[in-house]
Amino acid sequence: MSLRAPLPTPTAVSRRFWEAARDGRLELPCCRACRLTFHYPRVLCPRCWSQDLGWRVVSGRGTVATFTVLHRAVHPAWQSRAPYVTALVDLEEGPRLLSNVVGIDPRDARVGLAVEVVFEVEGEATLPRFVPRT
């Protein structure tokens, strides 16, 4: 049985994030009014509600705020990858992203682990994931 893993559906608001990832850049929305860099992409600044928004390339460096190791995959198509690490990553620029930590024995995952972004191709999408920073 082969199951297709679900992939992101870029929207008018999020397309730039996914296209940047395809080109190997982590690009996040930022507010021109109050200077907040944020994630996920949306039409209003979540702090000052300005609609005057732009994008900026961020470092891709961050730390693991919290994580879980999934032994039962959320989607059957991912079960062959289990156990895998799903984490909330705090970027140096402030925003918090939900992603995976890869390139690591799941038993070595830790809160506070220093990580950096990598870009993994899956089907038609490129997904930002994180690896331990050396």
Partner 1 sequence: MADFGTTPEQLARIAVVERANAQRNPDAVFHGQPISVDDVLGSRMIAEPLHLYEAVMPCAGGAAFVLTNARQAAAMPHRPVLLLGAGEKVTHRALSQAPDLTTTPLRAAIQDAYAMAGVTVRDIDLFSLYDCYTIMVGVTLEDAGLCPKGRFGPFVEEHDFSAAGDVPLNPHGGQLACGQADLAGGMSHIVEAVRQLRGEAGERQVRDAGVALVTGNGATLSEECALVLGRAA
Contact 45, 33 (CB under 8 A): yes
Q: How far is the CB of 72 from partner 1 (least distance, A)?
A: 5
Q: Which spans of this chain sit near partner 1 (rule: CB under 8 A)? A: 39-40, 46, 65-66, 68-72, 88, 96-98, 111
Instruction: Please report the DSSP string for 22-75 in residue order.
Output: HTT--EEEEETTT--B-SS--SS-TTT----EEEEE---EEEEEEEEEESS-SS
Q: How far is the CB of 56 from partner 1 (least distance, A)?
A: 18
Q: How far is the CB of 84 from partner 1 (least distance, A)?
A: 11
First to last CA, the chain: 39
Q: Which is nearer to partner 1, 20 or 95 (by Cβ)?
A: 95
What length does the chain have?
A: 134
Q: Which is nearer to partner 1, 59 or 124 (by Cβ)?
A: 59
Q: Which is nearer to partner 1, 39 or 129 (by Cβ)?
A: 39
